[in-house]
Structure 1
Amino acid sequence: MGAANSRTEPISQRSGKYLSNSQVFPLDQGIQRLAIDPSGAIGSLYDATKDQLLSGLPLYISRRLISLRNEVNPVVVTSGRLKARDLLEMIGIDKELYLSMYLNLTKSKGASLLQNYPFTNNEYTRYFFFHQKTKHSYLAANQFVENAKDNPNILSANMDATHVITEIQYGIHVVVFLQLAPDNVTALDELLERIQAQLVRNTFSVKTNEKPLYEQFTDVKVFSNIPEIVNLTKLQDICQKIHQIRTNVYQYPPMKYTLRPIRTLCPWFSTEKGVFVPLSKGLINETELYFYELSTIRKELHMSLPSAKEQSILTYFKQAYEDLQQRQMKINQSYPTKMNRLRATLLAIRCGTIKQNQMQDSLVDHEAKALLRDCRNIIEQRENLVEKVQLVNELKQRNIEYWNVKELALSESENLDLIEEELMRKRPGKRIFCFDDDLKREYLGEWNKHLDNLFNGEKTSNLVFADFSFCSIQPSKLKIISLNETIGPRKSLWEDSSGKSSARKRFRLDPTNVSTNKHVNILLLGEVGVGKSTFVNALINYLKFESFEKACADKPVTAIPVSFPLAVGDQFEEHVVELGGVDANEDHRNPGQSVTRQCKSYVIPISAQLNIRLIDTPGMGDARGLNQDDLMMQHILSCINNYQYINAICIVLKPNESRLNVIYRSYFTQLMSFFGEKIRNNIVFCFTHTRATFFAPGGTAPLLKRMLHSNGMKNIVLKKSNTFCFDNEAFRYLIARENGLQFDVYQKEEYLRSWETSVKETSHLLQYICKDLKPCERQSWQSIENAQWQINKLIRPTLEAIRNNIRNVLLVDKAQSKTFIRLHPSAVQRNVHLCLHCPSVPVLCQDFWVVPDDPHVVLDQCSRCQCSAAQHLKVNYVLKYETTTDKRIQSISDMKTNVSLLQQWTIGLVDFFRYLSRIPKENDPLLANLNRIMEEEKSIISQKQQQQTTPNLFLYEELKTFRKEYEKFWALSTSARKPMNLTDVYKLIKNLSKDGVISEQLDAIKQTQQLYMQEREILVS
């Protein structure tokens, strides 16, 4: 947006009609700005760091040095569908100025106010734009420097000045937003074209037969640098006023300023002042796009629903709507603080106190991106509620009952079968159609077919629509249940209908070009509904069967259970085909459930030396909540962190998307943030459903390239060698045949061609990954986010090591004990938590009271107590305590040195949290854990006050002193010490990890992770 307005080429090149080279200032430092404040004159002082025209006197400049030329420039008049970003560019709001306006560094006036206007933008919205440049004043450079020395007093009164106005372009710009009457769109668009032609010819008149048409322009809003125009509300009055003003060039206000750095004109000006550092191209593009999207989405967020719609939502979905309102309130409350932080960072960059090439993170960091995602998510959920109300009303008109399953008085069971049985008993004579929003969205075609069949079939009064959208557990497919149906026993993943394991051949792939690693680890990422699970199943079958004929003669492999509706036969009869049994743990279509939305890997043996490991991940971009997307992305990264290397990251997409889900931008940003720059070479793109696009990426490819380019990710390249196109209809055909469905010869030939092409593409994909890509090793994953992961894992082990080392120092120092306390960490199964609310039970260990970890298993609720999930702390190992007389325990002096060293290293993490990760003190995870440990000691002292607690008192005081030192480090300014870089952080991590007590706890964490990975891995053999 507006890149032309920040160009730095010579003025003589931009307006060469009247300037010679000798009249031009040094050129690579000038900037142009829209004249938001029209009071500027040649010599006025300007603060470019805030984009503010300073209110003091301008520099004294002799009038004979200022040239004024009247110009004859063509009029620019356009109209059409509204694209707000294009309009900002048209009127001259460049990207730097846009950031200043959005962050309230400067106040919007005149035409620039349009960037804050919450306009409605739909198919009936139009804009009308008028622009004309007239006179132009400018300053000759060679004499200005001599005279500028007479102005020291003015400059000393304006020490914030960075630039001086040296050129002013006068003219008119007018932007009009308006709405067309929906029943007369063509005639009104034609009228706009006639108005456009008249103003270009410098005429304007309204014909008698056109007057009724002018009345059909509504919601007219004007933005202009001409004050007399902005309050007009009728298009004909606006056009008439423009025509009148054009006859008097002296009425034209400033439209654009050209600014030169003050030190190029006044070299004696303070070198400490006058500094302005523009953002780099990549940073400005990314930052401007972010704020534009945030501005657009917040305008939409603050638009109230029509009262009738809002009342309907409150009638049916009051709790869900109030939850959204509460979330919006929290966003509104935190928004000023977040903008203040971004504003301060932007100013620091522009003033040169933060060097862009030394920034470890973008100006738009994780917290800023989370804000945008949260705003977008609220809008999507609000729109979803509106659609849901429409469905409920339609059902009522057809005498169909609607149930919000969450609001029914059902048991708290997490078993879907039991919930369905309760629903059937609630209405014994009814047919209950079970669905949720994700199934509806993912299988929209099937959903519409279901509605047609249900609405046009039997009596609709016999139907109930059971909506699971707000429940913690949901159906795996669209289905109808009744008391006549029974739920059979579940089969194991690899059992066929007879209950016997299906025999399968080993897959063949030439491993000669593969590295010595036994596994090729391929991570699959994609949004909900893109077909990743089908892609995994299809890929396995492409590898297993050498030909389509052999695949048809054998039973297809379904590593992931499949179920989908299919219309076949001359009458297009619909059948639900499925294979592989039902397993709720494998259902990736239910967002927000930790038991079902988990990473899972499928290991495919190729040879004795080689296995392909496909790492399937939860689908992202769920409309139910960006918070859930964030949690899922954190889960994915946590899962990846268990592997020693990644061979490839496959981004799975559909061809011919009309727009790309913003989740893909989040994918690339977070992947680069976690793995570092090197991972870009291991990213490949896999397109599904490409038979309709002749096995090509279709329209998605240019959208993807544009997204990568606009977000400063040019190093991630979409090219032929890393792009692979599949069509998995042949696999679905195999599943349908297994269900007994018949197909004609033509269909079989189509599926044969699809199979052959996809098999070849599978071979190309694996050969490319194995031969052309170098595995991205974990030791190379150096980034701020990766360091944050490792530090988070170290926090509890480090603090427990410090606490126990202090215990042992006190045992020797105070009691001359030769018996010590030793930590005994143990691995745990997943979902183990510690309850922070239930009373602890201290036990005596040597002279200290300690609290052994008492594990609670928490899914949606705790299995042992009634405390909420928020009152539980998830842990990846548990601690017990034992005594030892091991002579290998260090001497007292060594123990004290070790405690001091651990504390010193731990305090060093403040720099990481504060200056690299940019976490505020109140969100410091280490400080939060330290406070928890101290509260535990405080609770022990309180509980055992009638007994001997002196050692625990000493321990508490030592921890208190440590916390004081830690917090003191937070208060130190950056200049008080050498700033920490990423290399220093990894050295600190390495030092902490080598400590013996910490290392034992890390081993327990590793065992926990291995248990989890084993549980979530299936060997396809």
Structure 2
Amino acid sequence: MASVEHSIEWKAIDVSGRLGSFYDQSSDAFVGYCSLQNLENSKDSINSACQILRCTHINNAIDVLKAIKFHDTLLQSILFGLVKPSGISSVINYNGPIDEYTLFLYYTYEHRQEKLGAITDRKAHRTISPPSDLNNATHMVTEITWGFEILCIIQVLRTESVDQIENLLYKIWNQPFNLDKRSELINNEKHEINKLSNVAIFGSETCTKNSNTLSLLTVLEQLKKWQDNKSFHVPILYRMHSLEDLFKNQSLSKPYFLSNDDSSKIEQIGIMMIQLDNRLKKLQQLFKNRFNDCDNLIYDLWPHDIPDRLGILLSQYDEYRTKLGNILVDVRRGKAHPLPPIPQDKTPLTSSPQAETKPSRVTEFNVLLMGETGVGKSSFINAFVNYLVFDTLEQAEKNESIVLIPVSFLVTTGDQFNEFMVKFGDVDSNENHEHQGQSVTQQCKSYVFDLNETTRLRLIDTPGMGDTRGLVQDEKNLDHILTYVNNLSHLNAICLLFKPNNSQLNIFFRTCVKRVLTYLTPIFYKNVIFCFTNARSTFFAPGNTGLLLRQMMEKEYQNEIPFQNKNTFCFDSESFRYLAARKCHVNFDEFVIQESISSWTTSVTESIRLLRCIRKYEPYYLNDWQSIGKAVLEITMLSRPLMETLRSILYNWKLRETGIVNHRMILNSNFLGSTLCSNCVEKKLKFENRSNFPI
């Protein structure tokens, strides 16, 4: 969450607010009222302003509202359906074109300001006491600006000059508005204005009750009337103070503002939802018109369940929108959001062997490994499994080593620095050793270990961050990682791998870690583990990297992610590289041998400690919790099947209209029983060397 603002200015969508009204910023709604009549003061403060905007920096209705000072938080509430658009905010439903021939004419008239003097001086705690039941209120209305607003979207004909129309509007706006009493030039202006027939008008509902019959010329002629007649004036701007600050009471609900990054993601979801809303509305209208116009013969050829299927689609979509709105409210209140369990039909439709199979008693532990390119994630997996199987380096040399991921590296030995290329393990298309600086691992891959009859460990290897192919490749890798994780049923831990002697943390890696943690919720933060590879050089300690990580945790996560000995582990993969080299008949001197033996023993101890740590963590069930990052991913995934469904409906429609009644497109959704994406690779192993692990 970003820092709290004690005072906010909110465009008035709900005009029922009055001085002393309590406001819940998380749901953007008035939730109560405190009578403060003896503290109110009012004064006329006539002011008007006009803006004429072009679409140079405006691509959609959201940009229009931003240009006229709508707060991002209020825009999010409109997009997610928490606030019903009214007045000029109704422009969110505008479906017309916005291009180089579009002009936006915005006019605001302020007539009166009401203010609570004692409140705005932050003396509320001396004057009144807050009610006992505030219904999650975070703010009180302390100032109201009365007047009206008008927003006109003008689509200029392509045969006309946009510059000339813009100059004409500026010229008219800088003169009195009583057009009937102006000079003869006005007739020419009226003629030009009347030529602007493609105009959408939004504004204070007292002025635009019959917006469908209003023209731009009518608006210009009515402005003087609207200014003089106070019955047309409504609240157009609220200034509100936080209750915590006003009453000097830390126990009151605190207002929250999301970070710019989170706000941007929420806005992306909202824009996508508005686009889907508009397409569904068009589809509904299309169905309504076609069913009314088509003759009985064509109607009889249509599948009679189409209206029901469309109704189910719309119902499910509305339910999902409501759920997203509730999630946004809880996120603003600083809460992780548990989703309600999906109801299951306990009575199987058909009797099948699968339905009668008893649930497995095997407990699975899913662990995601992440790190920079070259940190040694794949080597860590190879080393880790060998550390668990063989207690000593001598045992590993005498028995067949386990190579889950092929390794390839150059080693030098002897006084003459003789070079040997070590290649160990079968060729794997998922591992690319040919291009220096690129991530060796090309896609996510799971390695599953049956530790005993009841415990299974899944280590998920991922492409490295900081790829030399650039930020675009890193973004692709990260999207792939999140999509892969989204197919898991649960996650027990994330292991962040580092080298212990870094002078700085890779900037993009920090961004990637932040994005992954945004996909999860703070509930999971205690399940983050720090692992250091090649730690023999720092005496099996975090080294310089540890200080950088501690600073990062304090600054960006306020120590919500613990960085302590209990969740920090130091390994040395060099002892496994020594083992791989020995298997390829490379000889070493006595010093290297003793160092490798000692390193292996220490790494075995750390591996057992890591395994026990993972086992203690409570699993994080991905379907039970929702977050901003997860919502972004799921909405993106939702948009395609929804569009495919709409396309299928329209395609079948056209087939029926052309008389081709024997063909029909049907979308079949096939459930995949696996909790992992079927396109991703999984490798399962069962160790014969060891039946039980010290967990």
Q: TM-score w.r.t. structure 2 length?
A: 0.47
